[in-house]
């Protein structure tokens, strides 16, 4: 699908598609981590293991984190059109606050 979206011809090197997918997965994972840090910043300040995270500790402001998140998502959408997979990563932090099964499994 990414080859179609990027208008790659069949003559293009076959290694470019896995490379683009790897880059997109890395960007998407980083975006999900940023979203999780922003969403959990108040809780993270109370936990010894997570209180030194950049957003929770105040080293990075929430607005800066959200700006970088938008940059990553925009870059991911423009380069690979694989943004649809971010949906689950987007709602996961919200589910851990409202669904008891998520906290029981951890």
* Domain span holding position 13: 2-105
**Total number of domains in the chain:** 1
Domain of residue 87, CATH code: 1.10.357.140
For 6, 7, 34, 81, 104, the CA distances from 1, given in Å and listed in that order, are 9, 10, 27, 9, 37
- Please give the model's pTM, rounded to 2 decimal places: 0.63
Q: What is the pLDDT of residues 22-68, one digit of tens each?
A: 787 788 889 889 998 999 999 999 989 989 999 999 999 999 999 99
Tens digits of residue pLDDT in 78-98: 766 544 455 555 666 666 666
């Amino acid at each position: 699908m990414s080859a179609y979206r990027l208008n790659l011809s069949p003559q293009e090197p076959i290694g470019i598609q896995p490379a683009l997918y790897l880059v997109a997965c890395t960007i998407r994972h980083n975006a999900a981590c940023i979203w999780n840090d922003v969403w959990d910043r108040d809780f993270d300040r109370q936990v010894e293991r997570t209180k030194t995270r950049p957003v929770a500790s105040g080293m990075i402001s929430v607005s800066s984190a959200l700006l970088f998140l938008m940059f990553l998502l925009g870059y991911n959408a423009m380069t690979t059109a694989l943004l649809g997979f971010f949906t689950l990563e987007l709602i996961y932090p919200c589910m851990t606050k409202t669904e008891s099964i998520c906290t029981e499994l951890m």
